[in-house]
Structure 1
Amino acid sequence: MSLLHIAIILPFLLAAGLCLFYRIRHKIHTGWLVLPLPVILFSYFITRIPVLQSEGSATSSLPWIPSLGIEFTVYLDGLSLLFALLITGIGSLVVLYSIYYLDKRKEAVHTFYLYLLLFMGAMLGVVLSDNLMVLYGFWELTSISSFLLIAFWNHRAKSTYGALKSMLITVFGGLAMFAGFVLLYLMTGTFSIRAILEQVSSITEHALFLPSMLLILLGAFTKSAQFPFHIWLPDAMEAPTPVSAYLHSATMVKAGIYLVARFSPLYAGQAEWFWLISFFGVLTLMYGAFRAVKQTDLKALLAFSTISQLGLIMCLLGLGSASAYFTGAASSLFYAKATMAAIFHLINHATFKGALFMVVGIVDHETGTRDIRKLGGLMSLMPVTFSIAVIGAFSMAGLPPFNGFLSKEMFFTAALNIMQLNIWNMESLSVLFPVIAWVASIFTFLYSMLLVFKTFTGPKQFDQLPRKPHEAPLGMLLPPVVLASLAVVFGFFPNLLSYSLIEPAMAAIHPALLEEGDRFLVSISFWHGWTPEIFMTIGVIVAGAVLYRSYHRLRLLNRPLFERVSLNRIYDGGLRLLDQGSHRITRTYMTGSIRHYLIYIFVFFTGSLGYTLYRSKGLSFDTTNYAPVSIYEAVIITVLTLSVLAVPFATSRLMLIILTGAAGYMVTLFFVLFRAPDLALTQMIVETVSVTLFLLCFYHLPKLRKEEVKVPFKAVNLVIAASVGIIVTLIALSASSSRSFESISDYFLDNSYLLAGGKNVVNVILVDFRGFDTMLEIVVLSIASLGIYALIKIKPEPGELLAESPVPDPDRDKHSRMYTPRSNDVILRTASKVVVFIILTFSWYLFFAGHNNPGGGFIGALMTSAALVLLSIAFGMTMIRTILPVDFRKLTAVGLLLALLTGIGSLVLDVPFLSHSFGYFDLPLLGRTELATALLFDLGVYLTVVGITMTIIFTIGRDN
Structure 2
Amino acid sequence: MSLLHIVILLPFILAVFVPVLHKWSKRLHTGWFVLPAPAALFVYLLGWLPNVQEGERMTASLPWIPSLGIDFTVYVDGLGLLFALLITGIGTLVVLYSIFYLDKGKEAIGHFYVYLLLFMGAMLGVTLSDNVIVLYGFWEITSISSFLLIAFWHHREKSRYGALKSMLITVLGGLAMLGGFALVYVMAGTFSIRELVGSAADIAEHDLFIPAMLLILLGAFTKSAQFPFHIWLPDAMEAPTPVSAYLHSATMVKAGLYLVARFSPVFAGEPAWFWLIAASGIATLLYGSYRALKQTDLKAMLAFSTVSQLGLIMSLLGLGSAAAVYTGTSESLFYAKATLAGIFHLMNHAVFKGALFMVVGIVDYETGTRDIRRLGGLMSVMPVTFSAALIGALSMAGLPPFNGFLSKEMFFTAVLNIRELDVWNMAFWGAFFPVIAWIASVFTFLYSMLLLFKTFAGKKQFEKLAKKPHEAPLGMLLPPVVLASLAVVFGLFPNLLSYSLIEPAMAAIHPAMLDAGAKFHVSISFWHGWTAEIYMTIGVVAAGILLYKLYPRLSLLNRPLFTRFSLNKTYDGGIGRLDGSAKWLTDRYMTGSVRHYLIYILFFLIVSVAMTMAGSGGMRVDLSDFAPMSLYEAVIIFALVASVIAVPFARSRMMAIILTGTAGYMVTLFFVIFRAPDLALTQMIVETVSVTLFLLCFYHLPKLKKELARLRFKLSNFLIALGVGAVMTAVALSASSGRSFESISGYFLENSYKLAGGKNVVNVILVDFRGFDTMLEIVVLGIASLGIYALIKLGPDAVGTADGRPAQVLAADGRDIRSNDVILKTISKAVIFVILTFSLYLFFSGHHEPGGGFIGGLMTAAAFVLLTMAFGMKAMRDIVPVDFRKVTAAGIIAALLTGMGSFFFGEPFLSHAFGYFDLPLLGHVELATAMLFDLGVYLTVVGITMTIILAIGRDK
- TM-score (norm. length: structure 1): 0.98
Shift of 1:321: 0.6
3-state SS of paired residue (1:250): coil
* Counterpart-to-counterpart distance in 1, 2:82 and 2:400: 25
* Counterpart-to-counterpart distance in 2, 1:836 and 1:381: 76
Q: Does 1:567 align with 2:567?
A: yes
Shift of 1:20: 4.8
Specify the alignment match of 1:58 in structure 2.
58
3-state SS of paired residue (2:666): helix
Q: Does 1:391 align with 2:391?
A: yes
Letter in 2 for 1:925: L
Specify the alignment match of 1:534 in structure 2.
534
* Counterpart-to-counterpart distance in 2, 1:135 and 1:820: 55
> 1:817, 1:959 within 8 Å by CA — same for their partners in 2?
no
Q: Deviations over 1:760-806 (max 9, x none)?
A: 1111111111111111111111111111111111156xxxx976211
> 1:122, 1:141 within 8 Å by CA — same for their partners in 2?
yes
Q: What does 1:906-945 correspond to in 2, within 5 Å?
A: 906-945=902-941
Given the alignment, which residue of 797, 806, 830 partners 2:802? 806
Specify the alignment match of 1:406 in structure 2.
406
From the superposition, tell whether residues 817 and 517 of structure 1 become closer, same or farther in structure 2 (CA, over 3 Å). farther
Specify the alignment match of 1:550 in structure 2.
550
From the superposition, tell whether residues 339 and 691 of structure 1 become closer, same or farther in structure 2 (CA, over 3 Å). same
- TM-score (norm. length: structure 2): 0.98
CA-based RMSD? 1.6
* Counterpart-to-counterpart distance in 2, 1:810 and 1:65: 53
Shift of 1:824: 1.1
Specify the alignment match of 1:378 in structure 2.
378
Letter in 1 for 2:307: I
Specify the alignment match of 2:752 in structure 1.
752
Q: What does 1:29-178 correspond to in 2, within 5 Å?
A: 29-178=29-178
Q: Does 1:885 align with 2:877?
A: no
Q: Does 1:895 align with 2:891?
A: yes
Specify the alignment match of 2:212 in structure 1.
212
Q: What does 1:269-668 correspond to in 2, within 5 Å?
A: 269-515=269-515, 519-668=519-668
* Counterpart-to-counterpart distance in 2, 1:371 and 1:838: 74
From the superposition, tell whether residues 81 and 729 of structure 1 become closer, same or farther in structure 2 (CA, over 3 Å). same
Shift of 1:916: 0.9
From the superposition, tell whether residues 290 and 306 of structure 1 become closer, same or farther in structure 2 (CA, over 3 Å). same
Structure 2: gaps (5+ residues): none
> 2:764, 2:847 within 8 Å by CA — same for their partners in 1?
yes
* Counterpart-to-counterpart distance in 2, 1:519 and 1:53: 13
Letter in 1 for 2:265: P
Shift of 1:871: 1.2
> 2:378, 2:460 within 8 Å by CA — same for their partners in 1?
yes
- 237-246 or 950-959: which moved more? 950-959
Structure 1: gaps (5+ residues): none
* Counterpart-to-counterpart distance in 1, 2:76 and 2:53: 12
Letter in 2 for 1:189: G
Letter in 2 for 1:338: A
From the superposition, tell whether residues 820 and 343 of structure 1 become closer, same or farther in structure 2 (CA, over 3 Å). farther
Specify the alignment match of 1:869 in structure 2.
865
From the superposition, tell whether residues 343 and 919 of structure 1 become closer, same or farther in structure 2 (CA, over 3 Å). same
3-state SS of paired residue (1:63): strand
Q: Deviations over 1:266-308 (max 9, x none)?
A: 1111001111100000000000000001101111011000000
From the superposition, tell whether residues 930 and 591 of structure 1 become closer, same or farther in structure 2 (CA, over 3 Å). same
Q: Deviations over 1:12-68 (max 9, x none)?
A: 111122245552254432211111111111111111111122342111111111111
* Counterpart-to-counterpart distance in 1, 2:554 and 2:465: 27
> 2:835, 2:863 within 8 Å by CA — same for their partners in 1?
yes
Specify the alignment match of 1:775 in structure 2.
775
Shift of 1:712: 8.3
3-state SS of paired residue (2:71): strand
Specify the alignment match of 1:193 in structure 2.
193
Shift of 1:937: 1.2
3-state SS of paired residue (1:855): coil
Letter in 2 for 1:402: F
Letter in 2 for 1:906: S
- 47-56 or 14-23: which moved more? 14-23
Q: What does 1:687-706 correspond to in 2, within 5 Å?
A: 687-706=687-706
Shift of 1:430: 0.9
Letter in 1 for 2:290: F
- 802-811 or 324-333: which moved more? 802-811
3-state SS of paired residue (1:812): coil
- 761-770 or 709-718: which moved more? 709-718
- 828-837 or 595-604: which moved more? 828-837
Letter in 1 for 2:862: A
- 311-320 or 696-705: which moved more? 696-705
Shift of 1:807: 3.9
Shift of 1:814: 9.2
* Counterpart-to-counterpart distance in 2, 1:728 and 1:631: 25
> 1:355, 1:388 within 8 Å by CA — same for their partners in 2?
yes
3-state SS of paired residue (2:526): coil
From the superposition, tell whether residues 445 and 818 of structure 1 become closer, same or farther in structure 2 (CA, over 3 Å). farther
Specify the alignment match of 2:823 in structure 1.
827
- 322-331 or 761-770: which moved more? 322-331
> 1:64, 1:72 within 8 Å by CA — same for their partners in 2?
yes
Shift of 1:880: 2.1
Shift of 1:897: 1.4
> 1:503, 1:519 within 8 Å by CA — same for their partners in 2?
no
Q: Deviations over 1:512-558 (max 9, x none)?
A: 11147864010000111111111111111111111111111111112
Shift of 1:818: 4.1
Letter in 1 for 2:16: A
3-state SS of paired residue (2:876): helix
Q: Deviations over 1:454-501 (max 9, x none)?
A: 111111111111122111111111111111111111001000011110
Specify the alignment match of 1:858 in structure 2.
854
Identity of aligned residues (%): 72
Shift of 1:815: 4.6
- 514-523 or 504-513: which moved more? 514-523
Letter in 2 for 1:829: K
> 2:898, 2:932 within 8 Å by CA — same for their partners in 1?
yes
Letter in 2 for 1:313: I
Shift of 1:95: 0.9
- 421-430 or 37-46: which moved more? 421-430
Letter in 1 for 2:533: E
- 713-722 or 203-212: which moved more? 713-722
From the superposition, tell whether residues 378 and 748 of structure 1 become closer, same or farther in structure 2 (CA, over 3 Å). same
Total equivalences in the alignment: 956
> 2:376, 2:461 within 8 Å by CA — same for their partners in 1?
yes
Letter in 1 for 2:588: T
* Counterpart-to-counterpart distance in 1, 2:476 and 2:890: 38
> 1:820, 1:958 within 8 Å by CA — same for their partners in 2?
no
Shift of 1:176: 0.7
> 1:702, 1:807 within 8 Å by CA — same for their partners in 2?
no
